[in-house]
Structure formats: structure tokens, C-alpha cells
């Protein structure tokens, strides 16, 4: 997949989360979650910007997805603790925020892996523990039709969710 397809998959994964967040009274967190998922959607492809990593190598593993989620969770946890300490009269940020943002960050990267899984090149998501290659071999990553389809599916699902909740 290309960026458009990966963003579409992130939107598709985000849609039900947006519904839950909006229906439980978290509009600002809904926006933050959506922006974070869209921003992280192309992250594993940063390996194409360096000669030190093979494309669909370490950045295309479940370990990388977990590491991104852990990093986002730790940074959010530090920010939450500092802001709640600084403004000690009231706790502005929920204590579960780091777990939430860490989890959706992991989900966004895993969504990227799913997008690459449908291509003939596939991926090795459990390296170095396993050299098993996975591919559904459904479409070429450069297929404009497949990338637009993923983007439209994500956009439509998010739109439908917003229409139902709002």
C-alpha cells in the first residue's frame, strides 16, 4: 500500500473508536486519537528513507508496533503526570490516557502491516523470532484502485459512524 491506502485503513480502524469516544463524551480525545492514527499510518515506511534498513524489515513487525505504542504511552504518561502535578487542584487528564493513546498507536502501526499483508511482497511480522512470510497476494501496493478503495472505505466508515453518533 501507499500512504493513501494506509491512511484509509487507519480511518477504518478509527471509526468505531470515534463512535465510542463521542458517545461517551470525549470529543477532543476523538480528534486527538484520529490525528494520531492518521499520522502514524505511514510510519513503518520510514525505512524507505534510509539505506540502513531493508524495506518491510524491522519497522514492519509486531515488535515495532508494540514499541511505538509503548513509546507513545510513556511520553503521554509523563505528560499526564506532569500536567496533573502542575495543576494539582484538579486532574485535567485522565489516568488511562497513556494506555489509550499507546494502544491506538499500536493499532495504527498494525493497520499498516495489514495493508502490506495484502500485497504480493507481504511481510515477516514476527522477525527475528520467526522467518515465516505472510501474504494474501490480493493487490499490488502501487495499485491506485486498491489504495483509493481503502481510503474510501475508511472515509465512508468514519462518516457513517459520525452520522450515527452525532
Query: Of the candidates 116, 112, 114, 97, which has an alpha carbon nearest to the alpha carbon of residue 33?
Result: 97
Beta bridge partners of 134: 123
Max CA pair span of the chain:
56
Write the pLDDT tens digit of every residue in 69-96: 999 999 999 988 887 666 665 557 788 9
> Which residue is associated with the grid cell 499510518?
41
Q: What is the pTM of this model?
A: 0.93
Number of domains in the chain: 1
Write the pLDDT tens digit of every residue in 89-132: 555 778 899 999 999 999 999 999 999 999 999 999 999 999 99
pLDDT at 42 over 60: yes
Helix (H) or strand (E) holding 146: helix 144-165
Query: Of the candidates 63, 61, 64, 74, which has an alpha carbon nearest to the alpha carbon of residue 101?
Result: 74
Query: What cell was used for 7?
Result: 491512511
CA-based torsion, 118, 140, 53, 68: positive or negative: negative
Question: What local confidence, expressed as pLDDT, does residue 120 receive?
Answer: 97
Question: What local confidence, expressed as pLDDT, does residue 95 receive?
Answer: 81
Compute the average pLDDT of residues 25-47.
96
pLDDT at 137 over 90: yes
Task: Give the number of residues written for the chain.
Answer: 166
**Domain that residue 105 falls in:** 3-165
For residues 91 and 155, the model is more confident at 155
Query: Of the candidates 71, 72, 98, 101, which has an alpha carbon nearest to the alpha carbon of residue 84?
Result: 98
Compute the average pLDDT of residues 4-12.
98
Of 34-43, 76-85, 102-111, 143-152, minimum mean pLDDT range: 76-85
Amino acid at each position: 500500500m501507499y500512504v493513501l491506502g494506509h491512511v484509509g485503513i487507519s480511518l477504518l480502524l478509527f471509526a468505531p473508536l470515534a463512535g465510542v469516544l463521542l458517545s461517551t463524551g470525549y470529543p477532543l480525545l476523538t480528534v486527538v486519537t484520529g490525528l494520531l492514527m492518521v499520522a502514524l499510518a505511514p510510519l513503518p515506511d520510514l525505512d524507505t528513507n534510509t539505506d540502513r534498513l531493508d524495506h518491510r524489515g524491522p519497522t514492519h513487525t509486531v515488535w515495532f508496533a508494540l514499541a511505538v505504542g509503548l513509546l507513545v504511552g510513556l511520553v503521554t504518561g509523563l505528560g499526564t503526570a506532569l500536567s496533573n502535578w502542575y495543576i494539582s487542584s484538579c486532574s485535567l487528564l485522565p489516568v488511562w490516557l497513556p494506555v489509550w493513546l499507546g494502544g491506538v498507536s499500536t493499532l495504527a502501526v498494525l493497520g499498516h502491516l495489514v495493508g502490506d499483508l495484502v500485497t504480493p511482497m507481504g511481510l515477516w511480522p514476527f522477525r527475528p523470532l520467526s522467518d515465516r512470510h505472510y501474504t494474501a497476494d490480493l493487490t499490488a501496493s502501487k495499485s491506485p484502485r486498491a489504495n483509493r478503495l481503502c481510503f474510501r472505505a475508511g472515509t465512508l466508515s468514519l462518516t457513517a459512524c459520525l452520522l450515527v453518533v452525532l
